Amino acid sequence: MDYEDIDYTVEGPTAIITMNRPHRYNAFRAKTVEEMINAFRRAWADNGVQAVILTGAGEKAFCTGGDVKQRAETGDYGPSESGMFEIGNLHKTIRDIPKPVIAAVNGLAIGGGHVLHVLCDLTIAADTARFGQSGPKVGSFDAGFGSAFLARVVGEKRAREIWYLCRQYDAETAERWGLVNWVVPAADLLDEAKKIAAEIAEKSPTTLRFLKQSFNADTDHQAGLSNLAMSALDLFTHSPEGLEGANAFAEKRAPQFNQYVGA
C-alpha cells in the first residue's frame, strides 16, 4: 500500500507509525484508518520489529479523532479501499498485535485520538500534550473500548468526568491519573520513545507476546461492547442530532442539542 495519510518507517527493532495529516490536527478519515491497520500488520509480520511507536506529525496534535469536517462535508468519513470505516478493526489490531505498542503523544490527544493512546500498551507524553474527549460536543461517542476500557485505566469516576464534561487535561494531570506512563520535554519525546522501544527489544519476544495476551484476556469481552457501540454510532451519526454536532463544529458555532432532550 502506498500511504497518503501516514508515514511508516523501521529503525532497528522499532516500527514507527506517524499519523500525517497535520492540517487536520491528524484527525483520521476512513483512508487513514485503513492505512494504519495495514502498517500495524506490516509491523506484526516483520520478525525484526519488536515494538511499535504510534505518534502524530507536527507539534500540535497526536490525533484529534475522526475528521468531523469530513463528516460534515460528505456525511461519512470518506472513501476507503474496503468501502468501510474500520475504526473498530484498528482498535482490535492495536490490541492483538503481539508486540508492545507505545503511544508517543506529541500534542492534542482528543476524542478518537484519546482512545487510540489509551489502547496502546504504554504512553509517553510531551509536556505540552493535552488529553480529553469531545464526542458529546460534536455528536459522537465510543461506548466500547473508549469508555469501558478507559474506566479500567483511570477508574469509573474519572472516566465519567472525561466523557461527560469534555474538558482537556495537561500531561501532568494525565500522568497523575495513570493515563500516561511518563512525561518528557517535547523536544525529547521521540528519542525517549525509541529508548523505551529499545529496552523492550532486549526482552524475550515470546514472553512479551504471552504477557500482552494475558493482560488483554481480562478485557477482551469489551470487544463485543465495541462492536455494538460502533453499530450504534454508525446509526447515530446519520441522525439529525448526530449531524447537528458535526455541522456545528464545521460552522464554528455552538450546537443546538437542547431540542433532542428526552427524544
Q: What is the pLDDT of residue 165?
A: 97
Residue 243, marked binder: no
Q: What is the pLDDT of residue 94?
A: 98
Find, among 250, 118, 248, 113, the residue nearest to 179 by Cα.
118
Q: Sorting pLDDT into bands at 50, 70 and 90, what band is 74?
A: confident
Question: Which triple of cell numbers denotes residue 209?
Answer: 507476546
Residue 78, marked binder: no
Q: Sorting pLDDT into bands at 50, 70 and 90, what band is 140?
A: confident
**Quick one: how far is CA 196 from the chain centroid?**
20
Contact 212, 100 (CB under 8 A): yes
Q: What is the pLDDT of residue 263?
A: 55
Domain residues of the chain, as ranges?
6-187
The answer on pLDDT for 262 being more than 80 is no
Residue 112, marked binder: yes
Residue 77, marked binder: yes
Q: Sorting pLDDT into bands at 50, 70 and 90, what band is 225?
A: confident
The chain-wide mean pLDDT, for the chain, equals 94
The answer on pLDDT for 75 being more than 90 is no
Q: What is the pLDDT of residue 19?
A: 98
Q: What is the CATH number of domain 6-187?
A: 3.90.226.10
Of residues 226 and 203, more confidently modeled: 203
The answer on pLDDT for 34 being more than 60 is yes
The answer on pLDDT for 233 being more than 90 is no
Q: Sorting pLDDT into bands at 50, 70 and 90, what band is 209?
A: very high
Residue 108, marked binder: yes
Residue 111, marked binder: yes
Give the Cα separation of 31 and 38 in Å (integer).
11
Average pLDDT over residues 127-142: 93
Span of 114-118, 121-125, 158-162, 229-233 with lowest mean pLDDT: 229-233
Query: DSSP secondary structure string, the chain?
Result: ---SSEEEEEETTEEEEEE--GGGTT-B-HHHHHHHHHHHHHHHH-TT--EEEEEESSSSEEE-SB-HHHHHHHSSS---SSSS--HHHHHHHHHHSSS-EEEEE-SEEETHHHHHHHHSSEEEEETT-EEE--HHHHT----SIIIIIHHHHH-HHHHHHHHHH--EEEHHHHHHHTS-SEEE-GGGHHHHHHHHHHHHHTS-HHHHHHHHHHHHHTTTTHHHHHHHHHHHHHHHTTSHHHHHHHHHHHHTS----GGGTT-
